[in-house]
Structure 1
Amino acid sequence: MSDIHIRVDGVNKVFGAEGREMVALQDISLNIPRGQFTCLLGPSGCGKSTLLNAVAGFAPPSSGVIVVDGRPVTGPGPERGMVFQEYALFPWMTVEQNIRFGLEIKRVPAAVITQRVDDLLRLLSLADFRARYPKDLSGGMRQRVAIARVLALDSPILLMDEPFGALDALTRRNLQDELLRLWGEMKKTILFVTHSIEEAIYLADRIVVMTYRPGTVKRDLLVELPRPRDPADPAFNLLKRELGQLVMEEQQRHHHDELRMAAVD
């Protein structure tokens, strides 16, 4: 089995009809090793979520190829689990029913479902909330349920689209620590989209900084800080300043582009 779990090779993505085309991704190539935690970092409009959706199989590239475990991606697949910023829970189902749902669709034996759900409820500190409905949970608890539902399917790849972006700072840090713990135990390959520089440094083995439209790879770097990482550490802040400069350049390009478009209108 190859050590390269996800291969993105010369991917381009164009939206719109001829004459009014918008190039979202341009010549993206990445090799993501098995078990690596990779963050896609950049400002709004840089194509982070577009690339993630292409890897998920939701939005195929206009050209180029995405390969997972040696097989080209032609659509969604069970080896890729997706966690969205919006919790995407069924409001009429309890916490336990939400987590069980995908397993029941796959016709997993009942005893296996019960054991797996019980394990995840315990791992994610949800056992006391198993009979609650999403409306009765905080944002952080809902996101725990969303993560548990994806983990229940035991996909070797987790694709996460700003999953903690709507949460308060304390809840966000708690869930970041929870995710790192689960990643350490389960050895998943994680591709994680964020616009938070601190979050990317705190979580990732590797950070891929993307340019504002068209989205290309501006910088691809390994984070060599030891874990657990301390945001107050001078080395952490040195890297934060370096990445901040890269992202700020792209935000300024975004701002200039908006001003140009407003002048045209």
Structure 2
Amino acid sequence: MTTHIATHIDIKGVNKVFKTDEREVVALKDINLEIPQGQFVCLLGPSGCGKSTLLNAIAGFSLPSSGTLVADGKPVTGPGPERGMVFQEYALFPWMTVEKNVAFGLEIKGQSRAQIDATVDKLLHMLSLHDFRTRYPKDLSGGMRQRVAIARVLALDSPIMLMDEPFGALDALTRRNLQDELLRIWAELKKTIIFVTHSIEEAIYLADRIVVMTYRPGTVKRDILVDLPRLRDPSAPEFNALKRELGMLVMEEQQRHHDAEMKMAAVD
């Protein structure tokens, strides 16, 4: 007997068109995805393929021009508490300490001081931040700042986490450490995660499922389930076979991007 896993994010016929005085740019075209509860999905592709545009649509920051988005059983009409967003730029309040940054959303929700203190303390320990609770963002490394940003989203207990290249600016060692932290948190808290990346290796290391997107207009080129055991070994033959397959798909789109840029330059 198979167990049915409910669809947590339902994307049907989503299109996004940006209009300027001179022209229209079709950023997304006919995106259809069903993402079950608890799945870790990576959106992969070169710059200009609409990964962040799709993520921002799901977040409710920039709604689609047409089509429907349903998250956690509700139509997406704007930002909502069921969808937490982690940005590449950390987006921390520089005048607040680590613990104040993590507590901020809980204070806005009007939770009691005892509830806030308990949640913040738990998350600071979970993300190895307890020794830095009274520090300010300027005193932290990039990796530590991103831990604080993740803790702040986790504090709100959103069932869906949206992550826009959160480790893109970090060095390789810090990036791998945070990838492992994220996988541990995901396994423990059973969040649904949509994670934007342009790194093929990162996508394979993290994801249950990789959605490869085409260069503009952004469409779904391939939707691949990653059937590799965790924790994944980037040196394993199966890992590298998938890396080669994804590399060819992404390179095709990078070539399309290059050809389009050359064509535009020739017209100008």
TM-based fold match above 0.5 = yes
Deviations 1:180-212 (A, max 9, x none): 000000000000000000000000000000000
CA-CA distance at 1:70 after TM superposition: 2.4
Please report how far the alpha carbon of residue 77 of structure 1 lies from its aligned counterpart in structure 2 after TM superposition. 0.2
Paired position in structure 2 for 1:148: 151
CA RMSD of aligned residues (A): 1.1
Note the alpha carbon deviations across 1:73-104, whole angstroms, 9 max, x for none.
Answer: 00000000000000100000000000000100
In the other structure, the counterpart of 1:179 is 182
Contact 1:158/1:189 (CA < 8 Å) preserved in 2? yes
Is 1:205 the counterpart of 2:208? The answer is: yes
Counterpart position of 2:67: 64
Q: Provide the residue aligned with 1:86 in structure 2.
A: 89
Aligned amino acid, residue 231 of structure 1:
P
1:222-261 matches, within 5 Å, as 222-261=225-264
Q: Report if the CA contact (8 A) 2:38-2:192 is conserved.
A: yes
Q: Tell me how far apart the structure 2 counterparts of residues 178 and 166 of structure 1 sit (CA, whole Å).
A: 17
In 2, the alpha carbon distance for the partners of 1:8 and 1:75 equals: 15
Query: How many percent of aligned residue pairs carry the same amino acid?
Result: 78
Unaligned runs of 5+ in 1: none
Give the drift of 1:263. Answer: 1.2
- 8 Å CA contact retained: 1:2, 1:69: no
Tell me the residue number matched to 1:39.
42
Distance in 2 separating the partners of 1:213 and 1:246: 15
CA contact (8 A) 2:72 2:82 kept: no
Helix, strand or coil for the counterpart of 1:43? coil
CA distance in 1 between counterparts of 2:36 and 2:22 reads 38
Aligned partner of residue 27 in structure 2, secondary structure = strand
**1:2 and 1:206 mapped to 2: Cα distance?**
15
Give the equivalent residue in structure 2 for 1:98. Answer: 101
For the Cα contact (< 8 Å) 1:93–1:133, is it kept in 2? yes
Contact 2:212 2:222 in 1 (8 A): yes
**Following the alignment from structure 1 to structure 2, what is the Cα–Cα distance between the partners of residues 106 and 29?**
34
State yes or no: 1:196 paired with 2:186: no
Q: Distance in 2 between matches of 1:18 and 1:212?
A: 23
What 5-or-longer segments of structure 2 have no aligned partner? none
- Amino acid in the other structure paired with 1:156: P
Between the aligned partners of 1:70 and 1:97, the Cα distance in structure 2 is 31
Scaled by the length of structure 1, what TM-score is found?
Answer: 0.98
Q: Give the letter aligned to residue 213 of structure 2.
A: M
**Would you say 1:120 and 2:105 are equivalent positions?**
no
TM-score by length of 2: 0.97
Given candidates 79, 83, 96, the residue that maps to 1:76 is 79
Q: What SS class does the counterpart of residue 151 from structure 1 fall into? A: helix
